Amino acid sequence: MIEARNISKVFADRTVLKNVTCRFEKGKTNLIIGESGSGKTVLMKCLVGLLEVDNGQVLYDNRNFSEMTLFERKAIRQEIGMLFQGAALFDSLTVEENVMFPLNMFRKMSMEEKRERVNFCLKRVNILNANQLFPSEISGGMKKRVAIARAISMNPQYLFCDEPNSGLDPKTSIIIDNLISEITKEYQITTVINTHDMNSVIEIGDKIAFIYEGQLWWEGTNKEILHTDNQEINDFVYATELLRKLKR
């Protein structure tokens, strides 16, 4: 479990996050949603330590991440998997080398052990016979699956996904959503997803945090979000859904 306790973040004279308190639960897909500029991306960056909070605390299973030194944070960062927007694969590395990259950085394993782990992760995301291909030789959906394989290569306890469906067609987006959800439950990972995709919210939103003007405005499940009387979240949900339909 990851906890944000009364987090605030200020840039110059603008308060981006205001006393945000929420929990991201183990074995569940925890989604952060909100309008552009609402503060949801800043929240995720504070959770992983890319930004320092000005007030409040971030805890990983009761370990106070906010008060740790850089050296102390290293242990927790090795328990984190990251799925970046656009996959962020290394163009000059093969599929196998991309997935192996974190293992080379952080694990003392033989080459045989690393290859075995890479093949296991690639098989788990349904990629076969592509080890020696380069990112330029595979589709956008395959790139995302390779990125997921890389993210889980070190058996993370925590998985952060930044707009995992960005740039994907609806059918491929569903495949990626289901894959993230399956892996989350199978390995009991605490998964945090930053997304605009209402299909993701409805299909895999075990827990949803709606950020509005820098504040936690609403929390609930994918079942509850369609029946809330919260005006701001209704405006967001149905405006987003209408825009998605118009783009079809």
pLDDT at 57: 95
Compute the distance between CA of residue 107 and CA of residue 114 in angstroms, rounded to an integer: 9
pLDDT at 33: 93
Cβ atoms 152, 139 nearer than 8 A: no
pLDDT at 240: 58
pLDDT means over runs of 10, the chain (248 residues) = 95 92 95 89 92 94 92 89 84 94 88 93 90 92 91 92 84 88 93 89 91 92 87 78 47
Compute the distance between CA of residue 18 and CA of residue 220 in angstroms, rounded to an integer: 20
Cβ atoms 35, 239 nearer than 8 A: no
pLDDT at 61: 94
What is the longest distance spanned by two Cα atoms in the chain?
56
pLDDT at 231: 87
What pTM does this model have? 0.87
pLDDT at 3: 96
What the block records as the tokens of 35 is: 């309008």
The dihedral sign for the CA sequence 13, 19, 22, 24: positive
Helix (H) or strand (E) run with residue 40 in it: helix 40-48
pLDDT at 227: 84
Compute the distance between CA of residue 22 and CA of residue 4 in angstroms, rounded to an integer: 5
Distances (CA, A) of 62 to 1, 3, 4, 45, 46: 8, 8, 11, 19, 16
